[in-house]
Amino acid sequence: MSTPNIHFDRRSFLKVSATAGGGMLVGLSWTASAAELDEALPADPITFNAFVKISPDGVIT
């Protein structure tokens, strides 16, 4: 049984490595931020109404 001859050049290796590393980074930061978001949510629900006022200095009330 012979092993298949697979040829990877340096450019292909860097593309695959960067893609895999980026995917891991995004995946890990997404799960961490989701856990932090659950802790940061208030226990009581916030009610909003239809009346919103935006002042000239940008403050929303």
pLDDT of residue 18: 92
pLDDT (tens place) for every residue of the chain, 61 residues total: 677 777 778 998 899 899 998 888 877 666 656 666 666 666 666 666 777 777 778 788 7
Task: List the chain domain ranges.
Answer: 12-41
Distance CA 28, CA 11 (A): 26
Closest CA to 40 of 49, 29, 32: 32
Collapsing DSSP to helix, strand or coil, 54 comes out as strand
Give the Cα-Cα-Cα angle 41, 43, 45 (nearest 5 degrees).
Answer: 90
pLDDT of residue 44: 65
pLDDT of residue 14: 92
User: Cβ-count burial of 50 within 10 angstroms (0-12 exposed, 13-18 middle, 19+ buried)?
Assistant: exposed
* Helix spans in 1-61 (H): 10-40
